[in-house]
Structure 1
Amino acid sequence: MLSSLPVDPHLYVAFLGVMAVLAVTPGPANLFAVATGMERGRGQALLGVVGMNLATLVWFVAAALGLGALVLAFPQVFRIVAWVGAAYVAWLGIKSLIAAFRPRGTAPDIAAAPVVHRRRSALIDGFMVQFANPKVVLFFSAVLPPFLDAARPMAPQMALFALAGIGMDALSMSAYGLGGAAMARAMSRPGFQRGFSLVVGGLLLLASVLIVSRL
């Protein structure tokens, strides 16, 4: 029964957990959303969110074509990539747990966010920020492959992963963009940072275990 589904339910649940963590973690995209909201207002912040998720959609289409070809031509290589991805997810979790017990720093520096151009459409800026985002490159090269099932058709899997990934990213980016300075202040609180790191670390380690159990 489960084999007839487009995706492996266990892997999909694990993906949802990892994606939720990655979506809310501050990075170039979320910081761009904060900076745009503070500099240009909520409307432009949401337009920037649309641009960033259009870029993510482009990445998903490219990944579907590339990963699909890899699975069909080199199934053993794909299995190795999946193991590497599982190890990477576990390493992210360990790093987060270690960070939870280090002296707390400050909030993510909004000044470090990608530059906001007032004269250019936030849609274009958002697209360019996400298209060149290092986190996106790591996601498609190391994080996503372990969640794919080589025994199932690739297109339906990628469609469901794209739906979840883009949906969570859109919610997170919108919250950052609309929250602006308030979101940045929350991230600066030591207690919030420590608790966030503990939760993130635990979820990522759990996800890595689920991935390995299905390989």
Structure 2
Amino acid sequence: MAALPVDPHLYSTFLGVMAVMAVTPGPANLFAVATGVEKGRASALVGVLGMNAATLVWFAAAALGLGALVKAFPGVFKIVAVLGALYVAWLGIKALRGAFSTAGQPDHVVVRRGRSALIDGFTVQIANPKAILFFTAVLPPFVDVNRPVAPQMALFAVAAIGMDMLSMSAYALSGAALSRRMQQPRFRRGFGVFVGLLLMTAAVLIVARL
């Protein structure tokens, strides 16, 4: 029987972490909301396509870089895994602190009316700090150094882009309604606590796999 392209336990943990990160408000999801409000649902969905095209570029670059790293320094992934877990835990702590911050207000994204939503979406995601940290700190711990990297990255990409498409589209289509809910302290606090606890759990799961 042929070996699976990914470690099932690592992949299932990745799916949980990715689901949390996909629904967490960030530049991409805020851009989807803002585009939905300013340009309408159709343009917002086009922007979602642009953002996920940029994500695909990030995955291609990660596949090349991680593949070279695995071959040259297989032992490095233990250290990277610990750093990735610490980063996810930090995100959880940040979400919990933000949930109880009296000064915390949702960020805003400015959408330019005269530009293509596809280009804007691609630009937002290719320079998204959340995406950069995801590919440099969160993704590497889930790579099995004993398996070829390319098939693993392909399955990671399918899961990540699929979840991002669903999440971004939901943000885009909800538009003003979701934006108003996030302005409500009680809703924002509950959402922040939920996300924070999930991220802390995900960090524990990453460490448990070492």
* TM-score relative to the length of structure 1: 0.91
1:200 equivalent in structure 2: 195
Cα deviations by residue, 1:16-68 (Å, 9 ceiling, x for unpaired)? 12211211111111111111111111111110000000000000000001011
1:162 pairs with 157, 165, 170, which one? 157
The CA deviation at 1:96 is 2.2
The root-mean-square deviation of aligned C-alpha atoms, in Å, is 1.7
Contact 2:98 2:104 in 1 (8 A): no
Contact 1:104 1:193 in 2 (8 A): no
2:139 equivalent in structure 1: 144
Whether 2:3 is the aligned partner of 1:10: answer no
Alpha-carbon separation, structure 1, partners of 2:53 and 2:45: 12
The CA deviation at 1:103 is 3.0
Contact 2:16 2:202 in 1 (8 A): yes
2:72 equivalent in structure 1: 73
Alpha-carbon separation, structure 1, partners of 2:209 and 2:52: 30
The CA deviation at 1:152 is 1.4
Contact 1:52 1:130 in 2 (8 A): yes
The CA deviation at 1:207 is 1.3
1:52 equivalent in structure 2: 51
Aligned length: 210
Cα deviations by residue, 1:82-102 (Å, 9 ceiling, x for unpaired)? 211111111212222333343
Contact 1:104 1:190 in 2 (8 A): no
* Change in CA separation of 1:164 and 1:154 when aligned onto 2, cut-off 3 Å: same
Alpha-carbon separation, structure 2, partners of 1:162 and 1:176: 21
2:123 equivalent in structure 1: 128
Cα deviations by residue, 1:134-180 (Å, 9 ceiling, x for unpaired)? 11100001111111111111111111111111111111111111111
Which of structure 1's runs of 4+ aligned residues deviate more than 6 A? Answer: none
Contact 2:34 2:111 in 1 (8 A): yes
Q: What percent of counterpart residues are identical?
A: 72
* TM-score relative to the length of structure 2: 0.93
2:62 equivalent in structure 1: 63
